[in-house]
Amino acid sequence: MASKRGKLLACLLAIALPQAFAVRPATPMLPKPEWLADVGNRWARRRDAKLARG
């Protein structure tokens, strides 16, 4: 009986853990567009500075 319960618990953990990890990367993705835009702006500024210098 205990081994059956342990197996069930392991099965539940195997199902629950990947979902928890699948949700975790989605949370930092929310501010990602702003972060990407910031990096894009930085790259554009650097490129413009290089072009201005010739």
Task: Write down the pLDDT at residue 30.
Answer: 55
- Binned at pLDDT 50, 70 and 90, residue 37 comes out as confident
The token pair at 30 is 């929310």
Task: Label each residue of the chain as H, E or C.
Answer: CHHHHHHHHHHHHHHHHHHHHHHHHHCCCCCHHHHHHHHHHHHHHHHHHHHHHC
pLDDT exceeds 80 at position 49: yes
Domains of the chain, residue spans:
2-53
Output 28 or 49, whichever has higher pLDDT: 49
Task: Write down the pLDDT at residue 7.
Answer: 84
Please provide the average confidence, as pLDDT, over all residues in the chain: 73
pLDDT more than 70, % of the chain:
59
